[in-house]
Structure 1
Amino acid sequence: MNTNNIAKLLIVDDKPENLQALEAIIRHEGRQIFQASSGDQALALLLEHEFAMAILDVQMPDMNGFELAEMMRSTEKTRHIPIVFVSAAGKELNYAFKGYETGAVDFLHKPLDIHAVQSKVNVFVALYQQRNESRRQVLALEISRAQQEALLKDLHFAQEELQRAVRMRDDFMSMVAHELRTPLNTLFLESQLRTLQLDRNNTEFFNEGNLRKMVERDRRQIESMVRLIDDMLDVSRIRSGQLSIRRQPTELSSLLQRVVNDLSAQAVSSGSTIELETIEPVTGMWDQFRIEQMLINLLTNALRYGAQKPVTVSGVVQAGSVHIRVQDRGIGISDENLQRIFAPFERALNSDSSGGLGLGLYITRQLAESHGGFVRVESVVDEGSTFTVVLPLTET
C-alpha cells in the first residue's frame, strides 16, 4: 500500500462506545481512523491532518455537529472535506434538511445500517484516493515537462556549442592555411627566382652576400612555420594532459638576458626596443625551455601591439615566488576583451590581422599553471598593458 495515499477518516461523537462501534464498521486496509469526542478535539485534528471524510454526530454538548460543520466550511483547509452526519433523533426533527444546508453530503440515522455505512465510506475513500492519484500524476507530468524543458535547453546549448566548435574549427583551418601560406609563398617565390637565375646561368647572383641573405630569409620563413606547428602541438598536448614539464635549477636573470638578446632584432624590425631592468640572480625549479617559451610569447605580443614604443621586462622576488613583468605602452586591451584573450584561437574571433594563431597567451597561461603559478594582466586602452607571470621558486 502506498503510504502517500492512505485515507484518513475522522469520526466525532461524545460517546466512546459509539466511536468504537463506528471505527469497527469502517476500519479497512489503507485507512487511518482518528477519533474526537468533542468539536474542539475535532478542530485540532482537522488543522493537523488532511482527511478523506468526516463522520459527525449531530447531538453533542458544547459544540454540536452542525456548528462544527459550519466552522469546517469557513476554513480553506477543511472546506472541501466530505461530511456525513449521524443522529439518533427521529426523522420528524428534520435534522437531515439542516445537515444538507450546512454542507453535508449525506445524513445517516441510528441505528446505523452497517452495509450502507461501509458502502458510503468506500465511495468517499475511493474518490479521495483517485483525486490524490490524479494530483500525483499531474505533479509527475509537471516535473516531467520541467525536465524535458531543461533537457531541451541543454540540447539547445550543446547545439550552440557544437556550432561554435565547428565555426572555430573552420576559422582555425582557414587561419592555419593563411598563416602557413605566407612563408610557403615566400619560399616558393625565392625558389622560382633562384631557378630563373640558374636557367640564365647567372652565377654572379649567388655570390656570398646574396647567399647569406637567401639563407637568412629561408630561416625566418621556416622558423615561422615551425613556430606555428609547435603551438598547435602544444595545444594538443595541453588538452590531452600530455604536456611535460622537465624541471631543473634555472637561473632567471641570465635567461631573461638571453631571450631579450634573441628578440632584439625582431624588436628593431618592428620599430621598437626591449629594455631589461636589472634583476638580482635568482634560481627556481622550472622547465627552462617552457619559461623561455612564455617570455617569447609575451614579448612577441608586446612588440606586436606596443605601437612601436619601448617594451620593458623586469623581475621581482616576492614571498617565495618570482614575478616576471612584460610591459608595453601600446594600444591596451578593453575590459571586455581582458576576459577572453587567454582563450585558444581567440585572435581568429577579432579583426586583428597581425599574424599568429592566437595561441600564445593560452599556452602561456597553461605553462604557468603547470609550474604551479599563474598569469595576470593589467591594461588601460591607449596606454598599454602589463602581463605578469608569477612562478613559485620551488616545485609545488
Structure 2
Amino acid sequence: MSVQDPTKLLIVDDLPENLRALDALIRAPERLVFQASSGDEALALMLEHEFALAILDVQMPDMDGFELAELMRGTDRTRNIPIVFVSAAGRELNYAFKGYETGAVDFLYKPLDPDAVRSKASVFVTLDQQRRQMQRQMAALERSRQEQETLLRELNQTQEELQRSLRMRDEFMSLVAHELRTPLNTLFLEAQMRSLQLKRGTLATINPDQFDAMIKRDERQIKAMIRLIDDMLDVSRMRSGQLSIRPAQVELIDLLERVVSDLSLQASSMGTTLALRPHHPVQGCWDEFRIEQVVVNLLTNALRYGGGQPVEVSVQYAGDTVRIDVRDEGKGIAPSDLDRIFEPYERGARNGEPKGLGLGLYISRQLAVSHGGELRVTSKPGEGSTFTLILPTCEQTVGAATTA
C-alpha cells in the first residue's frame, strides 16, 4: 500500500486522552487514523471515508458504542466495517456477548494490552491491503477482458471488411470483363465481317453511308472502353493523391450549353428531353475538363434512371458560390441508398439492370471536393432525384483545394 493510498482506521471515544492513547498505539506510515468523540461525529466520518477498522468505546454519552454499531449495520455504506469494542466495565456485565450480537469482530477490556491492540490493527490493515489489491487485480482483469472484447470486435470487423473487399474485387473483375466484352465483341464481329468481305472481294459493294455507320459504331465502342479505363485510372489517382487539377477561368453557362447540346441527341433517342434553364454568364476558376466530366456523369445518370421523363439543369449564382442542379423525374432513390450510391463500384438499379462500373458518382463527388465544393443528392421514392453540384467561384479557394 503506497503513502498516497493509505489504510484508514477510525477510533471513537468521548475522552480525549483515550483517543490519544489509541492513536499512538495503531498509527503507522501506511495508515491514516481518524478520531471521533461521539457517535454522530463517527457516522459523519464513515459516510465520507472507507475504513478498514472501527474501534468503538462502549460507554459514551448520548449514543453508546452498541447503538452506534446498530446504526452502522443498518446502512450499506457502513455495514461491512469491522468493529472492535473497548470497555472499562467489568467482565461480569457480559458486554462482550452484547457486542458480538451487534456484529463486532472482537471485544477488548481496559486497561488495553498494547501488543494485542497493535496486532489486531495490523491484521485488519493487512486484510484491507489484500482486499484492495484484489480489487485492483479484478479491475485489471476487467480492463483486459474489455480490451480483448474490443480487439475481437475490431478483428471481426476487419475480417468482414476484408471479405467485403474480396467480394468487391471479384464482382469488380467480373463487371469489368462484362463491360469490356460488349464493345470488344462488337468490334470483333465488325472486323470479322470486313475480313470476310475483303477475302470475297465484296468490300467495294459497301456504300459510303454504310461504311460511315460502321466507323461511327467502332468509335462508340472504342470510346466506351476508353471511358471505362479512364474511370478506373481516375479512381487509382484519387486514392493515391495523384489526381491532377488544372484550374483556369471558365465560363460555366457556355460549358453547360455545350454538354446539354451534345447529350440532347441521346435524350431524344431515349424518348425524353434535356433542357437548361436560361441564366446569365457565370465565371469561375475550375478545371474545365473535370467539371465537364462531373456534369456529363450527372446528366447521363439522370437520363439513364429518369424513366423517360424530362431532365432539367438549372444554375443558381450567389457571389462566391455557384450551384448546379440536375433534376430528373424518375423513380427516385430509397433513403438507405442516398449515401451508398457515392461509394466506388456501387451501382443503382432504379430502372432495370444496372450499367457501368459504378464509379461515376464516386469520381464526381471526389472532383467536386477537389475543387473545394461538394456534390449531394435529394430524393424521395416516386418523386425523382436532384443532384446538386456546389462550386466556389473564387480562384484562391480552388487553388487551395487542388494542391493535394
Q: TM-score, normalised by structure 2?
A: 0.91
> Do the aligned partners of residues 39 and 385 (structure 1) sit closer, same or farther apart at CA in structure 2, a change above 3 Å counting?
closer
Deviations 1:65-122 (A, max 9, x none): 2222222222221111111112222222222222222221111122222211111111
In the TM superposition, what are the counterparts of 1:288-299 in structure 2 within 5 Å? 288-299=288-299
Secondary structure class of the residue paired with 1:346: coil
Aligned to 1:361: 361
In the TM superposition, what are the counterparts of 1:236-385 in structure 2 within 5 Å? 236-347=236-347, 353-385=353-385
Report how far residue 357 of structure 1 moved: 0.8
Alpha-carbon separation, structure 2, partners of 1:133 and 1:378: 59
Alpha-carbon separation, structure 2, partners of 1:349 and 1:148: 41
> Do the aligned partners of residues 387 and 38 (structure 1) sit closer, same or farther apart at CA in structure 2, a change above 3 Å counting?
closer
Secondary structure class of the residue paired with 1:386: strand
Secondary structure class of the residue paired with 1:341: helix
Q: Is residue 329–residue 385 contact of structure 1 (8 Å, CA) maintained in 2?
A: yes
Aligned to 2:213: 213
Aligned to 1:27: 27
Deviations 1:169-209 (A, max 9, x none): 11111111110111111111111111111111223145533
Report how far residue 350 of structure 1 moved: 8.2
Deviations 1:268-292 (A, max 9, x none): 3333332233221221111100111
Report how far residue 380 of structure 1 moved: 4.1
Q: Is residue 322–residue 390 contact of structure 1 (8 Å, CA) maintained in 2?
A: yes
Aligned to 2:141: 141
Alpha-carbon separation, structure 2, partners of 1:345 and 1:47: 63
Alpha-carbon separation, structure 1, partners of 2:279 and 2:118: 97
> Do the aligned partners of residues 40 and 355 (structure 1) sit closer, same or farther apart at CA in structure 2, a change above 3 Å counting?
closer
Q: Is residue 333–residue 350 contact of structure 2 (8 Å, CA) maintained in 1?
A: no
> Do the aligned partners of residues 349 and 50 (structure 1) sit closer, same or farther apart at CA in structure 2, a change above 3 Å counting?
farther
Alpha-carbon separation, structure 2, partners of 1:29 and 1:352: 82
Give unmatched runs, 5+ long, in structure 2: 398-404
Aligned to 1:64: 64
Q: Is residue 175–residue 348 contact of structure 1 (8 Å, CA) maintained in 2?
A: no
Q: Is residue 11–residue 56 contact of structure 1 (8 Å, CA) maintained in 2?
A: yes
> Do the aligned partners of residues 69 and 334 (structure 1) sit closer, same or farther apart at CA in structure 2, a change above 3 Å counting?
closer
Query: Does 2:77 align with 1:81?
Result: no
In the TM superposition, what are the counterparts of 1:69-218 in structure 2 within 5 Å? 69-205=69-205, 207-218=207-218
Aligned length: 396
Deviates most, 166-175 or 71-80? 71-80
Report how far residue 53 of structure 1 moved: 0.6
Alpha-carbon separation, structure 2, partners of 1:361 and 1:133: 59
Report how far residue 224 of structure 1 moved: 0.2
Aligned to 1:231: 231
Q: TM-score, normalised by structure 1?
A: 0.93
Q: Is residue 286–residue 371 contact of structure 2 (8 Å, CA) maintained in 1?
A: yes
> Do the aligned partners of residues 173 and 4 (structure 1) sit closer, same or farther apart at CA in structure 2, a change above 3 Å counting?
farther
Alpha-carbon separation, structure 1, partners of 2:98 and 2:382: 89
Q: Is residue 5–residue 132 contact of structure 1 (8 Å, CA) maintained in 2?
A: no
Letter of the structure 2 residue corresponding to residue 161 of structure 1: E
Secondary structure class of the residue paired with 1:294: helix
Q: Which runs of 4+ in 1 moved over 6 A?
A: 348-351
Q: Is residue 7–residue 128 contact of structure 2 (8 Å, CA) maintained in 1?
A: yes
Deviations 1:47-70 (A, max 9, x none): 211111111122222322222222
Report how far residue 310 of structure 1 moved: 3.0
Secondary structure class of the residue paired with 1:129: helix
> Do the aligned partners of residues 118 and 73 (structure 1) sit closer, same or farther apart at CA in structure 2, a change above 3 Å counting?
same
Deviates most, 204-213 or 20-29? 204-213
Aligned to 2:43: 43
Secondary structure class of the residue paired with 1:357: coil
Q: Is residue 324–residue 389 contact of structure 2 (8 Å, CA) maintained in 1?
A: yes
> Do the aligned partners of residues 330 and 4 (structure 1) sit closer, same or farther apart at CA in structure 2, a change above 3 Å counting?
same
Alpha-carbon separation, structure 1, partners of 2:252 and 2:301: 21
Letter of the structure 1 residue corresponding to residue 364 of structure 2: T
> Do the aligned partners of residues 329 and 45 (structure 1) sit closer, same or farther apart at CA in structure 2, a change above 3 Å counting?
closer
Report how far residue 5 of structure 1 moved: 4.8
Letter of the structure 1 residue corresponding to residue 86 of structure 2: V
Deviates most, 44-53 or 221-230? 44-53
Give unmatched runs, 5+ long, in structure 1: none
Query: Does 2:16 align with 1:16?
Result: yes
Q: Please, what is the CA RMSD of the aligned residues?
A: 2.1
Alpha-carbon separation, structure 2, partners of 1:100 and 1:378: 77
Deviates most, 180-189 or 131-140? 131-140
Letter of the structure 1 residue corresponding to residue 235 of structure 2: V
Q: Is residue 326–residue 386 contact of structure 2 (8 Å, CA) maintained in 1?
A: yes
Taking every aligned residue pair, what percent have the same amino acid on both sides? 64
> Do the aligned partners of residues 354 and 81 (structure 1) sit closer, same or farther apart at CA in structure 2, a change above 3 Å counting?
closer
Letter of the structure 2 residue corresponding to residue 385 of structure 1: S
Q: Is residue 176–residue 357 contact of structure 2 (8 Å, CA) maintained in 1?
A: yes
Letter of the structure 2 residue corresponding to residue 232 of structure 1: M
Secondary structure class of the residue paired with 1:147: helix
